[in-house]
Amino acid sequence: MTMVQLFFGVALVLILILFFLRNIAASHLLVFSFMVLLGLLSVDQYQHLSEYRMDLFDADSIGVIFLFLLTIISSFAALHYAIYAFRRLQDKRVIAMHNAAFVLFVTAIAGAFMSTHIGMLWACLEASTLSGAALIYHDRDKLALEATWKYLFVSSIGVTLGFAGIMFLSIAANNTPNDIADLIAVAPDMNVGWTKTSFIFILAGFSVKMGVVPFFTIDIDAKDSSPSPIGAMFSGPLMSVGFLAIYRFYQIFAHTSILPWMNHLLLVTGLLSLFFATVFILKTQNYKRMLAYSSMEHAGLILIAFSTGLNGYIVAIVHLVLHALAKSGMFFEIGQVHRTFNSKNDTDCGDYFRLRPMSSAVILTGLLCIIAMPPSGLFMTEFMLFKSLMISGQWWIVFIVMFLLCFFVYAMIRNFFTLLFLKNPQAQIAEKVAGWESIPPLLLIVLVIWFGIASPDILLQLVLQAVQVLPGASTLTYY
């Protein structure tokens, strides 16, 4: 039995047990042991990177990077959820439901990262939608219900449109079996009209997962209404799944003549996402929604980086990884702010620095990271993004992006400084949150800074290997 089979088998059994288990401590413990298994799976996939061992599930380099990312973020999310549930004295049934759905969600995402067949990729994406809905519905109130319904419905429609895209790809590929490697091999003979139709459907459909234009609104609502550990999962691993789904098709179509057209489409999508995120963040007063719009901004930047072609591929993937780490750290911290003031609106929060200096310091560092100030790793990638835009001669886009980013940085700094430093007589302290709870988010944010300073070879090597399948990438180096 291979590790992959073991993983899925254990996951299946675990989901069933967790669903019926009413002992909370045991339930959390099982989730943690599942995280250990996920870590082992990631290591196993990394060690056997170049061998092909199984049909349907076998991670390539980009899959391995995202598997490690998933392991890190979901372990922290499980930890924070355990604290959250313990402090809020949550109903046992709610916790059981959440933990079962969480394991299913993580399994579906891991499956999507490993799948070598686009039908399987689709099935995993749909499974992540369904389990994600159960996670959003955690609080069982009216807002959660509204967010869940919208997420479930629009996401289902989106993923169904994605399936239509897969069908159009089948037409283009003359019914070659939908294995990604096989499809790449027949790509040069594909019909241009069908490949374009397919890519439009895929990009529109899977935008629900990545949180970019056109279906971004439900993603924002979902991150806002769910508990903050789930917001972190949606901003990190789920966004990577959306990116990976689009990337798999990009991989195939990059070997056809529509490559420049695809890059234009990605550029337009990225710019529009950046624009809408900027417009909306200026008026929101809710910290979780601000972080959600910031994720959308970064998703837009990732697509823009990717659209610049050879120079941008590595930048885009590294940016995605670093953003996921920084953003989940911020979500965990905002979860603590939410517990402290029992509100996530800036009208009910304030003077946080005096209340919890440790947590505030983490928020401040995280803020600097996500607005891409040095020494954040995101500064490096955004700098490289501008460089690759300039190399490809798109000066006017550099100006547009910088212009929009100015508003973005302004909005983020204004709102978070209000939270940290401004006295607010309406702020009521609902709960005293312990200082040590800020250590896990701090670790994530320090990781981002460390990436910025040290640029570890292992990550860059893996990214470089991952993009090798794209045409012309064999000339790339990461320095």
Partner 1 sequence: MISLLIITFVVTLIYLSTAERMQSFNMLIAAQGILLFVITYIELKDLDTWHLALILLETLVIKVLVLPYFIYRLLIRKHNGSVTPLVPGFLSLIVVSIIIFLSFLVSYSLHDDQIQVKYFTCAIAAIFTGLYLIIVHKQIFTHMMGYLTIENGIFLLSLAIGNEMPLTVNLAVLLDVFSSVLILGIFVNRLESFSSLDVDQLKDLKDS
> What are the residues binding partner 1 (CB under 8 A)?
55-56, 117, 119-120, 122-124, 126-127, 129-130, 133-134, 137, 142-143, 145-150, 152-153, 156-157, 160, 163-164, 167, 170-171, 174-175, 177-178, 191, 194, 221, 224-225, 280, 283-286, 289
For partner 1, the closer CB: 156 or 311: 156
Which of 191/455 has CB closer to partner 1? 191
Nearest-approach distance from CB 406 to partner 1, in angstroms: 20
163/253 with CB nearer partner 1 = 163
Nearer CB in complex with partner 1: 225/308 = 225
Report the nearest approach of partner 1 to the CB of residue 321 (Å).
Answer: 28
CB of 159 to partner 1, least distance (A): 9
Q: Minimum distance between the CB of residue 213 and partner 1, rounded to whole angstroms?
A: 17
Q: How far is the CB of 132 from partner 1 (least distance, A)?
A: 11
By C-beta, is 42 or 148 nearer to partner 1?
148
Smallest gap from Cβ 119 to partner 1, in A, equals 4
Q: How far is it, in rounded angstroms, from Cα 477 to Cα 201?
A: 33
Q: How far apart are CA 174 and CA 195, in angstroms?
A: 12
Q: How far apart are CA 165 and CA 118, in angstroms?
A: 11
If the CB atoms of residues 152 and 314 are measured against partner 1, the closer one turns out to be 152
Comparison of 76 and 206: residue with beta carbon closer to partner 1: 206
Nearest distance in Å: CB 185, partner 1:
17
CB of 440 to partner 1, least distance (A): 29
User: Closer to partner 1 at the Cβ: 175 or 475?
Assistant: 175
* Token pair of 417 as six digits: 């400084």
Q: What whole-number distance in Å separates Cα of residue 125 and Cα of residue 350?
A: 39
HEC sequence for the chain: CCHHHHHHHHHHHHHHHHHHCCCHHHHHHHHHHHHHHHHHHHHHHHHCCCCCCCCCECCCHHHHHHHHHHHHHHHHHHHHHHHHHHHCCCCHHHHHHHHHHHHHHHHHHHHHHHECEHHHHHHHHHHHHHHHHHHHHHHCCHHHHHHHHHHHHHHHHHHHHHHHHHHHHHHHCCCCCCEHHHHHHHHHHCCHHHHHHHHHHHHHHHHHHHCCCCCCHHHHHHHHHCCHHHHHHHHHHHHHHHHHHHHHHHHHHCCCCCHHHHHHHHHHHHHHHHHHHHHHHCCCCEHHHHHHHHHHHHHHHHHHHHHCCHHHHHHHHHHHHHHHHHHHHHHHHHHHHHHHHCCCECCCCCCHHHHCHHHHHHHHHHHHHHCCCCCCHHHHHHHHHHHHHHHCCCHHHHHHHHHHHHHHHHHHHHHHHHHHHCCCCCCCCCCCCCHHHHHHHHHHHHHHHHHHHHCCHHHHHHHHHHHHHCCCHHHCCCC
Q: How far is the CB of 171 from partner 1 (least distance, A)?
A: 5
Q: Which is nearer to partner 1, 242 or 440 (CB)?
A: 242
Decide whether 137 or 352 has the Cβ nearer to partner 1.
Answer: 137
Q: What minimum distance in Å lies between the beta carbon of 19 and partner 1?
A: 14
Q: Are 451 and 405 in contact (CB under 8 A)?
A: no
Quote the least distance from Cβ 108 to partner 1, whole Å: 10
* Minimum distance from residue 306 beta carbon to partner 1 (Å): 27
CA 409, distance to chain mean position in Å, is 21
Contacts of 210 (CB under 8 A, 6+ apart): 239, 242, 243, 245, 246, 299
**Is the CB of 284 or the CB of 381 nearer to partner 1?**
284
CB closer to partner 1 out of 108 and 401: 108
